[in-house]
Structure 1
Amino acid sequence: MKNIGIIGAGSMAEAMLSGFIQGEVYDAQHIYVTNKSNAERLNDLQRQYGVNISLNKKEILEKADLIFLAMKPKDVKEAIHSIKRYVTEKHLFISVLAGVSTSVIEEMLEKKVPVIRAMPNTSASIRLSATGMAKGAYATDEQLTFAKNLFKAIGTVEIVEEEQLDAVTGLAGSGPAYIYYLVEAMELAGKEVGLDEETARSFIIQTLYGASEMLKQTKKDASVLRKEVTSPGGTTEAGIHVLKTNGFKEMMIECVKQAQARSKELKHSFNEMLLKERA
């Protein structure tokens, strides 16, 4: 079994390690976590999950041959600079960084190291992530299959072209936050119409769960299921009318597009940074 090294200790890193451990994909003893300098955060992860921790990057690279890049995208340059002297071609890198291309990572590493980009979401912590994945120039199909199987243990995986990962980021990577924001609004609505918080939350959660299972099990289009619920002149039609009048669908489309655009902006900024360094 390969040892995993996770560089970064934020929400996405925790979601993955939690999913791997809870899903019995990896034992905690095979997972090594490091970050820039926050020893307190590392200690919290060790107490909660039993993983190995260290601020010594050399130690992490020597013990792990599968390395996850899970820091904030803005910190990737500094993070790679701190480890690249210890990197060998035996390492496989899996990056979960929004907007940072495999070619940028390969160039920063200054070695022909296999790099795979994965865009999961935080539902990985309960093994229900939706992950998009693409391989870089030096990664093999076998390594891509290995990475796909690894992430399938914490959700679903779709192999896409790397250019499509910006769209995956906008739709699925950021997607849970859109749903949580919807739930926030529904909870407020529940309060407004006279339900206590606990009762409203119970109804909302079950409604979301039931709707997602209907989509999954019936395989019907969302528009078809919506129309089946919406009787002419009924209560659902009255509610849907408000959403249509206020441009709900258009706002959701724009929401995803803006997140995708931000991912592209990050990618372009990293590419420009490398061009300036070469000049």
Structure 2
Amino acid sequence: MKMICIGAGSMAESMIHGWINKRILKPEDIGVTNRSDMERLEFLKDEYGVRILCEQRTELRHAEFVLLAMKPKDVASALEGIRKKIGPQTIVVSVVAGVSIATIQKHIGDLPVARAMPNTSAQVGKSATGVAWSKGVTPNQQHTLRNLLSSIGNVTVVEESQLDAVTGVAGSGPAYLYLFAEAMVDAAKANGLSEDDAKKLVRQTFAGAADMIQQEDFGLLRKRVTSPSGTTAAGIEVLESGGFRELVTGCVTAASNRSKELGKEFE
């Protein structure tokens, strides 16, 4: 079995969905387990065709990757449960916010460990993922891991110290955009549009803007849309006067700081 997922929440599911959809991994190459939620494991088995690990977890010995995808508070018990079962060739990949490579290795020994921070857009192959790895991850393993993560989106290699910022920007980022989309729909309804029409317009606006920012500088795109004394300028003025940029900075900083706190709580 190539991939063992320890933890079966939304992030693990998004990555599994992306890998299978992109045909990077076959369903039978993926094993899943969690602390106690058998109903969730059965759902993933029925939905994607993945395998539920046996109680003894003997499959861990031959896994190419072990994905840690549980809550930070569950990491210690999870690592203790797999420490003696992982083979020396296995790469441990953690998507747990805040928990350091050194802390993981303290529990499982000097195995190659990578920390990655994807987001749930992995489900559609569009994750923005930051990754850092321990010194024990060989160039060949780095290449393999980058290919695996690139199959579900774009990958940026960063220093481990920068992963908390990646969490604040990219890991949590989709939720900020979804909230903004909700607010735009509410505003459209307040100005006379039906909910269905508002959602249709907002979805296409986001989709078009997402394509545009792949091609040009963000600031130039904004200026091009914002004619002096025009409608867009009136809207932008409200955002700027309301401290929009400061709110975004505070939002990202709060998420980044919480990632750091979670790591300290575990340690």
Residue pair 2:32, 2:41 contacting (<8 A) in 1 also: yes
- CA deviation after TM superposition for structure 1 residue 62, in Å: 3.2
* Contact map agreement 2:111 2:136 (CA 8 A) in 1: yes
Number of aligned residues = 267
In structure 2, the partner of 1:9 is 8
Closer, same or farther in 2 for the Cα pair 1:55/1:198, shift >3 Å?
farther
Aligned mate of 1:202, from 183, 200, 205: 200
Q: Which runs of 4+ in 1 moved over 3 A?
A: none
Q: 1:232 Cα deviation (Å)?
A: 1.4
The TM-score with structure 2 as length reference comes to 0.97
Mean CA deviation greater in 190-199 or 262-271:
262-271
Q: How far apart in 1 are the matches of 2:66 and 2:87?
A: 11
Q: Distance in 2 between the 1:88 and 1:59 partners? A: 10
The equivalences for 1:229-244 within 5 A come to: 229-244=225-240
Unpaired runs of 5+ residues, structure 2, are: none
Letter of the structure 1 residue corresponding to residue 184 of structure 2: M
Q: Deviations over 1:69-90 (max 9, x none)?
A: 0111111001111111212312
Amino acid at match of 2:247: M
Equivalent residue letter for 1:135: W
Equivalence for 2:72: 73
> Is residue 2:169 matched to residue 1:171?
yes
Alignment pair present for 1:248 and 2:244:
yes
Post-superposition offset of 1:55? 5.6
Counterpart position of 1:83 = 82
Cα contact 2:113–2:137 (8 A) shared by 1: yes
- The equivalent of 2:35 in structure 1 is 36
Instruction: Return the offset for 1:119.
Output: 0.6
Instruction: Give 1:275's aligned residue.
Output: none
Supply the distance in 2 between the matched residues of 1:165 and 1:103 (Cα, whole angstroms).
Answer: 14
Letter in 2 for 1:259: A
Whole-Å Cα distance in 1 between the matches of residues 62 and 38 of structure 2? 19
Q: 2:154 aligns with which of 153, 156, 176?
A: 156
* TM-aligned CA distance change 1:97 to 1:57, over 3 Å: farther
* Cα shift at 1:267: 2.0
Question: Unaligned 5+ residue runs, structure 1?
Answer: 272-279
Distance in 2, Cα, partners of 1:265 & 1:142: 33
Whether the aligned pair in 1 keeps the contact of 2:72 and 2:263 (CA below 8 Å) is: no
- Alpha-carbon distance change, 237 to 35 in structure 1, aligned in 2, over 3 angstroms: same
What's the % identity of the aligned pairs?
47
C-alpha distance after superposition, 1:243-273 (max 9, x if no partner): 01111111001100111111111222333xx
Aligned residues of 1:57 and 1:82 also touching (Cα < 8 A): no
1:157-184: CA deviation from partner (whole Å, max 9, x where unpaired): 0111111111100000000000001011
Kept after mapping to 2: 8 A contact 1:5/1:32: yes
**What does 1:117-156 align with in structure 2 at a 5 Å threshold?**
117-156=115-154
C-alpha displacement of 1:57: 5.0
Q: Specify the code of the residue in structure 2 equivalent to 1:51.
A: V
CA contact (8 A) 1:116 1:136 kept: yes
Give the Å deviation of 1:141.
2.1
Specify the SS of the correspondent of 1:48: helix
Candidates 197, 207, 227, aligned match of 2:223: 227
